[in-house]
Structures are given as C-alpha cells and as structure tokens.
A and B are shown apart, each in its own frame.
Chain A
Amino acid sequence: MPRTYLTRSAPEVGETERRRWMFRHPLVIRIAHWVNALTLLVLLMSGLQIFNAHPALYWGKVSTFDTPLMSMASSEDDPPKGVTTVLGHAFDTTGFLGSSTGADGQPADRGFPSWLTLPSEQDLTGGRSWHFFFAWAFVLNGLAYLLYGVLSGQLRFRLIPSRDQIRHFGASIWEHLTLRFPQGNEAKRYNVIQKLTYVAVILVLLPVQVLAGLAMSPAMDAAAPFLLTMFGGRQSARTVHFIVANLLVLFVVVHVALVLLSGFWNNMRGMLTGWFVIERQVEPAPVTDRAGEAA
C-alpha cells in the first residue's frame, strides 16, 4: 500500500490559503475506531453487570470477605442506604452505588445502578453472554488494527513521538493546559501528549485489560500460569481489570472533551470520512476570532 496518503492532500494549495484539506484517517482505522468504541461501551456495561454479582474487590489469590479493598452494599435501613467502602472508609452512595432505584421504582440492592449495566436488570448470565461476545469482537478488531497499523506504518507515524516533539515536551504540556491546539503543519500529526496517551491506552491499558480478564479464567490459569504471576493472583487480576476499566472511562471522558473543544465537526468528519481541515497557521492575534470560526 502506498504510504503517500500520510500527507495526502486535496489540490495542493499554498500555506496562504485559510483552510487546507488533509486525508487523515484511512478506512481501516476509521472502522477500527468505531468498532472499538462500541465494543468498549458494551464491555463496560456488561462488565458492571458481572461485577454486580459480587460487588467487592480484593487483592491476592483469594477473597478475604471481611476485608475487601472496596465493596458496595445496601444497609438495613428503611429505605435502604447504599454504602460504598473503600480501603475501610465508608461513603454514603445511596441512589448510585450499593442501593439504587430499579426499573420497577423500588430501591434495589445492587452495586452499580440499572442504567449503567447491560442487561439493565440483574442478570449475571446475560451479562456474561454480552461480555464474551463483545470481548471477542474487541480482540479481533484490535488485532486487525495492530496488524494494519504495523504493516502500513500508521502506528509508528501516529503513536511514536518524533525527536523534536520530545524536545518540546514542556511547551506541549503548556499548550494543552491552556487549551491551545496546534494549527498549520503542526496539526497534521498528533502532538506529543496525544501520542503518549494513545501509546499508553493502545499498547498498555488495553492489552493489560485483556490479560487481566484472561487471568480470571480458571482454564487460562491452567494453560498459562504466568497470568497469575503477572497480577499476583486471581483476585488481584479482577481488581486490576476493574481499575483499568475506570482508567479507560477516564480516557474516553478526556478524549471526548478534547474532541468537543478542538472542533467537534472537523474531528467527527475526520473520523467518519477521513477528511480533516487544517486551519492556516495564524499569527498570535486577538483571540476573539476563535469563537467565530466554528460557524
């Protein structure tokens, strides 16, 4: 496959033009992105359903029922209170964690509320069916993405910071914090923080999540005992699986927020059609213009 599309542009125009089109996301990456988004959403919600079957986390090989790292429960009060205990500290989480209103309007004794779980009612076997099917979809999609990414050079181009980017790491952090997004040529590639975040998510968090999931399987623990060594036991693996799921949620929240802040329609068009508009590099000028440019 030719590698020219990395910088493939619509009719070549000078930098003096105000807007410039760039073909940013090849089809495989666009498909992989949306399949990934869907599978992660289903995996999260069906995962919370599975978690609800025993809403407590432990560290090590086994469950120490009296001393969980974290647990959710409902109290004996009427109406019941939801109590979430983290490292021995109890928090009142009524209505959200531990006890929440079910579909029938009655307070239900459940870890996560019904609007966050799939299926919405308490249904461990349904949750497992969803989870495993979408886990396979997620893994196959991820492998296709990685294979394509490596062979096409996209992975390297997108994810590995170049030397100049590493040199200007500090400046890049400052730009991020002040929500000033790169323009002109700089906008053709991901900035260094983007790249490192994607590396962390794609090459660390997601693979760890799969391995931690596998480490919970008694058959996998027989076939690949290193999984237990890696996480320090099945219950630790379950806790890691939960924490990584939370980190992925955090990533998605920040990701979506930045998509909104850095030009929602341009970003969406980019990930749907591949075409992305790069604004001309502007001189440090009055900031008042920025509000109007979305129109």
Chain B
Amino acid sequence: MIRLPSRRSILLGATGALGATVLGGCDRLGEMGWFKRTLATGEDANQFVQRLLLTERTLAPEYAEADISPFFKPNGTEDPPDKAYKALVKRKFAGFQLEVGGLVEKPFKISLADLRKLPARTQITRHDCVEGWSCIGKWTGVPLLELLQRAVLKPNARYIVFHCADTMDQGEPADAEATGGAEAPVANPNPNMTKKAAGADATQDTGDRSDEAPAEEAGTAEPVRFYESIDLVDAYHPQTILAYEMNGKTLPVAHGAPLRLRLERNLGYKQAKYVMRIEMVESFADIGEGKGGYWEDQGYAWYAGI
C-alpha cells in the first residue's frame, strides 16, 4: 500500500520550499544593479536627514576618564606588513612626515614632533564599529582644521582623502573567482571587518620579522592600500582630529600609529589608521574603485553616521 504523505508533512514541505524560493529570490534580487541602487536610497536618506539634524558644531557625546574601556578592541589592519611602514616603526616614526597636498595653495610636509607643537584637542569618545560593538577611548591630536588652514584650500577642494600605509589587498589576479561553478568562493567565515592585511602573519612582533615576506614583492599588480575620504562638513568639525595619542600614551601600532583620524559622529570604518598623506580633491571618482574609501569599495556606504 502506498503511504500518502500526511497533510502536515505536505504543508511543512510546501512552506519550506516556498521559504527557500523566496529567500533565494531575495538573494538574487539583492545582487541586481537596479535593486542595489534602490536599496541604497535608504542610506542616502540616512545621510540627507542626519545632515539636516546635525549642525557643524553638534558634538558627539564625550565621556569621563572612568568610562574609558580597559580593553579597546583593535580592528581592521592591526599590524601593517609593509616594508616602508615597518622601517618607520623601527625608528619610532622619527623620519615620518605627514604630507598635506592636493588642491591647496600651500602644500607642506610636517614631522610628528612639529605636529605635536600645534594646538591640540583631547576628547574621550565612544568608538562604534559597524559590526555593533563599542569602546570608549581618550584621543589627543591636532584638529584637522589647523592643517587645512595652513594649507589654504583651493575653491574647488571638496573632499579630504586620507592615504594610509597599510596594504589591504596584494592585487594578485582573482583566480579564485574565475573557477566559478561548484567551486564558488566560500563566504568569508569572518563576517566582520577584521581584515588581516594581506601577507600579515599572526605575530605581533613588528621589529624582528621585517625582513620576511615583504608585501610589495608578493603581488603582481599594484597593491591596494587603505584610503578613506570625508567632506568639508566633517573636516571642519571641532572633534575631527588626527590623533597621535590614545589614553594618554603614544598611539600604538594596533590603533594606527603614527596618526589616525577621529571622526566622532561616524562609525569606526571611516576612522583611517596609519595616515601618511592627506590630499584635497574635487572628486574621489578616480581614486581606488571610486567609491571614496577602501570599505566603500567593498560595498559599505560612504556616509557612516548610522
């Protein structure tokens, strides 16, 4: 006798199949260009409304010494593998000079010692990662405004681009994706933004291993270094600083030595570490993949207020 499936199992099966179809459909929809652009209007609306609500002077909340997180989670690159950077670390950034250029009347270079002589701001603020966690830290640095005033922006300067020392991708041919089919690239098991810079090994020992696996020689194409951009609204904000101290000590390598951007009304991924050069531009369309930053090129929104 043929056993008919029970009504319950048919219903459950149908529900499951329908669910899987809808889910698969949503996944495919999410990969289509027009749908992606439609969804992105939500993030455009975030920017539009939040910019209406914030004045240029609206400060991010500042906290008390007692609120400082005993452990501040480093994220993104924690130890750039780049030879040139490692050489700077070895000399404790003695030879480091921040370059300020692009669409400015008076481009200049400035050493860390001279940066420390400029007016400084100290702020205890909360760092919010796009992944969801938060830490509170104390940052001391030079307001970006000070540097921009010295450089004197040209009238067509609209964005500030931060060029950083850390190599994110070696620029090797993307052979993994070419195979396709059954060997579709496995989803990154690590969902968050902790991206070990390419070629970095697990060791935190920066000094001794600088002669090994030089990043520049590993890839065939141009390596992609971290970069990020902000507009003048954020650049002129009083809490926007290039920090050289964290929690009262020299900024450690894991947190972006020698200089990291603090952009307090934004998520962590905007706060560029290992800043080497800042460049004023009219448009960032021809930098990187044209979205305004390393993470933006990976799909994250340029505006990171939420």
Is B210 an interface residue, CB under 8 A from the partner? no
For the complex of A and B, 9 pairs with smallest distance between CB atoms: A219-B305, A133-B42, A217-B306, A132-B42, A63-B133, A125-B299, A54-B131, A53-B131, A122-B191
A219–B187 CB distance below 8 A: no
Flag the segment in A108-116, A171-179, A186-194, A267-275 that touches B. A108-116
Contact of B20 among A115, A216, A219, A224 (CB under 8 A): A115
B305–A134 CB distance below 8 A: no
Contact of A54 among B46, B54, B133, B188 (CB under 8 A): B133
> In the complex, what residues of A have CB within 8 A of residue B53's CB?
219-220, 223-224
Of chain B, the residue at the smallest CB distance from A103 is B187
Is A52 an interface residue, CB under 8 A from the partner? yes
Of chain A, the residue at the smallest CB distance from B26 is A118
Contact of B50 among A51, A119, A123, A220 (CB under 8 A): A220
Given A121-B187, A217-B306, A223-B58, output 11 extra A-B contacts at Cβ < 8 Å: A63-B134, A115-B20, A122-B187, A124-B191, A126-B30, A132-B45, A133-B40, A136-B45, A214-B306, A234-B128, A235-B133
A135–B42 CB distance below 8 A: yes
Which residues in A have some Cβ–Cβ distance to B below 8 Å?
50-54, 56, 58, 61-63, 65, 102-104, 106, 108-110, 115, 118-126, 128-136, 214, 216-225, 228, 234-235, 238
Which residues in B have some Cβ–Cβ distance to A below 8 Å?
19-20, 23-24, 26-27, 30, 36, 38-43, 45-46, 50, 53-54, 58-61, 63, 67, 69, 71, 73, 126, 128-136, 184, 186-193, 264-267, 298-301, 305-306
B39–A133 CB distance below 8 A: yes
Most buried by A among B134, B190, B301: B134
Contact of A132 among B71, B266, B267, B306 (CB under 8 A): B306
A-B contact pairs, 16 of them (CB 8 A): A53-B132, A54-B131, A62-B133, A62-B135, A63-B134, A102-B187, A104-B187, A129-B42, A129-B43, A131-B42, A133-B40, A217-B306, A218-B60, A219-B50, A222-B61, A235-B133
B306–A125 CB distance below 8 A: no
Of chain B, the residue at the smallest CB distance from A117 is B23
Cα distance, A22 to B88, chains bound together (Å): 79
B191–A53 CB distance below 8 A: yes
> In the complex, what residues of B have CB within 8 A of residue A224's CB?
53
> In the complex, what residues of B have CB within 8 A of residue A132's CB?
39, 42-43, 45-46, 306
B39–A222 CB distance below 8 A: no
Given contacts A134-B42, A219-B305, contact A120 B23 (CB under 8 A): yes
